[in-house]
Structures are given as structure tokens and as C-alpha cells.
Structure 1
């Protein structure tokens, strides 16, 4: 699509001052104001021609502006902070029919009904709800072409961790089971206002072509919750409440192994066994 020249923009710091948009700890807010960094994040989302993008927690609109500078077909921002909604509505007036503003809690809203496919999420997620938001989107991964999400670095490392590493756990299994995951950018605390105490990182999650149905996803959630509930416990004990030795035997996994040693294929067999069916041939 052909983009018209963007209208003149007030600096983000002036926007924040004019609206009294102080970052609130209760909302997990850390605003990213550097246009060079926000442009790089928008670029990490890949080709956006014809794609409908959803951004969660736009705040004063730094990443929003960068996304509007891409060829995305539309951008829908979801914001719970009424102060930021006013800013987003001001910006939307300059982008009629292309920028849509939704005042809602993303934890309670199905984002797939906000725009048609193909759709992506690109967001600097509030630190306090980033993980539960991600798990909710993983459940509906078939509905998203890509997720480009910023988290605390430690959370990003947990998403992308490999077996037998310090960060490997339930989040890595759920994420990598349904998507190809990778850290594509790290961001220092000083890039934010106010600066967080930790580094941040952008993760790309590209859903696999074939996705588990809801029943199988629930089975995987149950298996991983039990397996990693007591990390150093052998699986015959950790999984006792959901089948124990019988479940392990059906999946072909030794009971004296520990959860952190299993790879994604091992967990896939456990989830299928827990559901009472065998995995289909790949």
C-alpha cells in the first residue's frame, strides 16, 4: 500500500507532560521513547504489507508511531489506561480508518475479534502481565501470523530456553511447542522512562503451520504444570497426580528422568498420552 506523508508530530515527552502521563507501577508501565529503537522493533515484525496489527499497552505511542510508519493495513491499539486513551484518540484523528483505539484490559479481551486475518501482535508488554498474556495468545496461536513482543530479559530467556538450561521450564515448552521462538533484540534500562531495574528483550514467535486443538493444549498445560511443579523431582513422582508411571510408559519416557531433561517432542508425547491418544505422524 502507498503511505501518505505522516503529519507533524509533537515530541513524546511533550505529549506525556501535556497529559500528565506519569508511568504507573501498578500498570507495569515503562515508556519507550527513542524513535530509533521503536522503529527497529517495528522492523522485527517482518513484512507488514496487508497485515492487521494489534498493539497492547501503547502508552504515549512511541511504538504506535513506528508501526504507523510501516505498510501495515491497519493498527488497533488496546489500552486500559484512560489517560493514554486520550493520547491515542488524538493520534487516531490523523490516521482515520487506519488507527483504531480500543479501551479494554487485554487480559480480559479476545484480541482476534478486533481485526481480520492476517493479523499480528507487536507490543511492549506491561511487565506485570506479560507472561499470562503470552500464554493466552499461545492458546490461539493458529489465529496469529506472528507475535513480536517485548519482555523483561529473564522472561524472554525463559521463552527461548533449551532443555537442561537454567531458564528451561513450562513457558519454554508451551511457547516452542506452538511457535518458532527467538530473541531478536535486547534493550538497556536507560532506553525507557522511567528506567526499569532490568534489561528487556524482544522475542519473535512465529506459529507453526500445524497447531494443537484446545483439548490437547489443555493437556499440555496440565502436564507441564505437574512436571515443573517440583523441578528436581523425578517424573514418576511429579506426574503421580495425572497418571504417573502409566502416563510415562504410554509416552515411552523413563520415570527416573526430570522435567528439565525432556525436549519438546517428549512433552508432546506426554500431552497426547495424557489426552488418551497417540501423536499423529509428522
Structure 2
């Protein structure tokens, strides 16, 4: 393990502060960061993708666990601090300056990889739905260990019929296992965000036969985009959806939040 100065000293040395525009909140608690890094299992010599490392708090924990980390950071203020880490862990850390939404992660990594990140709040959901999408399955990523606002995390793991149940739950659960691994109090961050956070851990599961991810994504977008409307209204824009409801014996007067993940899968299969 490299002999590194405390993260607070690193931030002071490089004159860093969390950027609200970039959705940054820094974590200093080394024990908490080690617990997060342990969630994907043994990381010794495993490739890990980290998004938005900032000054490198979580990066330290991943490197200490033996991971080979590729970190994508668009805030160039943080690059000198990350360069210090790369020198402390020779050959273990590769830093890419850029926008994670504009980079092909599979091509960048070139092999199966885990994703571990304290995601910037302003891009977290967009990245998450991107990782869950696509027709090819299983994905190149082996697990997702991600920090979200608690409200978003609860939407990802929500059960059918609950207030948090919606599009994110269906997309996360139809061919993956999603669990809320731990809650993180707002006081753990600098500066403290206005809301609580949580870690979600997702692993790929078997993909149901005969289902198009594209159709399922379109179905959930239509159904939950007008979630207070009956399905016969909200799904009118999806060709064949209303007919599929009738063929499956699903009452078209029901609303989207009453349909289980399996119901959406059956609908997508019937349409496809």
C-alpha cells in the first residue's frame, strides 16, 4: 500500500473544491471508501472503470484493493491529484480526461470489467440506463457498484406497486439483479449534499428469450412517461402494445405501476 498524504491535504495542496456544476461531492472517510471498494468482491488485478474520480478518494481504495483502474475525469483541476496517485501505484491507474457520456466504455476497457463509481449526480441516471441498455447480453461489465442519491437508488430496486416503482426499476431488474448495498449519510461528503445517498450493486442475470431491449425501453418510456393514465392511453404510441395487452389478458384500464417486471417482459415479447 502506497504511503499517501490524507485526502484533505491533497485537496488543499491542489486548491480543489467540489464543483456544483459538475455534481461533485467529495468523500473523505477511508473506511467507508474501503467498504465500497469491497462490494464487487476481490479486485486483485481486476480491471475497474471509475467515472468522475475527482481528487481520487474512491480511486485510492480501489488501488489499495489491487484493482487496475481506468478513471474518466472531465474536471482537469483534478488531474494533478490523480497523477500523484498514478505515480504512487505504478501501472495500476490510467486516467482519461473527457466526458464519460461521449466515450465507448467497452472499447476503452477492451476486456470484461467492473464499474465502481461515486457518480456525479447530474449524469448518474443517464450513464446507468446506458449500461443497462443494448441488445447484446450479458454486457462486458461484470458488475455495477454505484453511488446515487437515495431517492434514485430506491427507484432502481423498487418493488411493483410501490411509490418508487417505475422505468428505472424495470430496466434494472428485467435481466439484472439490483440490490441496495448500503446507505450513506449526507454528512460523509464535503460539501454535504442536501439529500442522503446510497450504493446500488447490480450484476447481470439471464436475459429472457425473445425480448428486444429496444422494445422494452420504448414500452417503459411510454407507460411511465404518462404514469397516471391508463395503459390503453399511455401505450397507444407503441405499435401493437394495446393489442398485446388484450392478448395477454392484461386489463388496459390498469396503470403502469401495477404491472410487474415480468408483465413488461411479456408485453415486449408479444410485440416483438
Question: Does the 8 Å CA contact 2:241/2:271 hold for their aligned counterparts?
Answer: no
C-alpha deviations, 1:147-185, integer Å up to 9, x for none? 000000000000000011000000000011121001011
Deviations 1:206-249 (A, max 9, x none): 01133789x81111111001111111211111111113431312
Trace 1:11-50 onto structure 2 (pairs within 5 A). Answer: 11-50=6-45
Counterpart mapping for 1:59-74 below 5 A: 59-72=54-67, 74=68
Which residue of the other structure, out of 218, 228, 237, is the alignment partner of 1:232? 228
Change over 3 Å in CA distance of 1:41–1:211 after alignment to 2: farther
Q: Secondary structure at the match of 1:26?
A: coil
Alpha-carbon distance between aligned partners in 2 of 1:20 and 1:10, rounded to the nearest angstrom: 15
Distance 2:244 2:7 in 1: 55
Provide the residue aligned with 1:3 in structure 2: none
Give TM-score scaled by structure 1 length.
Answer: 0.90
Q: Does residue 1:176 correspond to 2:170, yes or no?
A: no
Mind listing any 5+ residue stretches in structure 2 that lack a counterpart? none
* Residues 158, 169 of structure 1: 8 Å contact kept: yes
Partners of 1:209 and 1:184 in 2: CA distance? 21
Contact kept? 2:174, 2:207, Cα under 8 Å: no
Query: How many equivalent residue pairs?
Result: 268
Normalising by structure 2, we get a TM-score of: 0.94
Give the aligned partner of residue 158 of structure 1: 155
In 2, the alpha carbon distance for the partners of 1:170 and 1:32 equals 29
CA contact (8 A) 1:16 1:60 kept: yes
Gaps of 5+ in 1: 1-5, 276-282
- Which stretch shifts more, 226-235 or 190-199? 226-235
State the partner residue of 2:74.
80
Alpha-carbon deviation of 1:96?
Answer: 2.0
Q: Deviations over 1:65-108 (max 9, x none)?
A: 00011132x11111110011221112111222211111111111
- Counterpart secondary structure, 1:222: helix
For 1:135, the equivalent position in structure 2 comes to 129
Note the 1:81-230 alignment, pairs <5 A: 81-139=75-133, 142-210=139-207, 216-230=212-226
